Amino acid sequence: MYFVVIGVLLLVMKMAEFGMVASWPWWGILSPFGCAVVWWAFADGTGYTKRREMDKMDARVKKRREENLANLGMDDRGRRGKRR
């Protein structure tokens, strides 16, 4: 995502002829978009994005379970909070 944002900023600066970016060659302006494509291909090919998605889902499930146990008055090991 960072590559796309950088690419858009460079593209806008080139089109507006702002600063020293106006004199840069087009391949320099468009290279962040190519880097973004390479990064997405690498991340999808190695399973990086799927692992991050699964980690987020596991964290949501854990948080939801802890909240439900707290609402029931139980701790995270499944024991009631009251002592005999």
Question: pLDDT for 17-69, tens place per residue?
Answer: 998 999 999 999 999 999 999 999 999 899 888 888 999 999 999 999 988 88
User: What pLDDT shows up at residue 71?
Assistant: 85
Q: Which domain holds residue 39?
A: 1-46
Task: Answer yes or no: do 64 and 54 share one domain.
Answer: yes
- Domains: count for the chain: 2
Q: Give the CA dihedral 21, 26, 29, 35, nearest 10 degrees.
A: -160
Task: Answer yes or no: do 59 and 35 share one domain.
Answer: no
Q: Which two tokens stand for residue 15?
A: 């089109």
Task: Answer yes or no: do 65 and 39 share one domain.
Answer: no
Task: Answer yes or no: do 53 and 42 share one domain.
Answer: no
Task: Answer yes or no: do 15 and 39 share one domain.
Answer: yes
Once rounded to an integer, what is the mean pLDDT over residues 1-8? Answer: 94
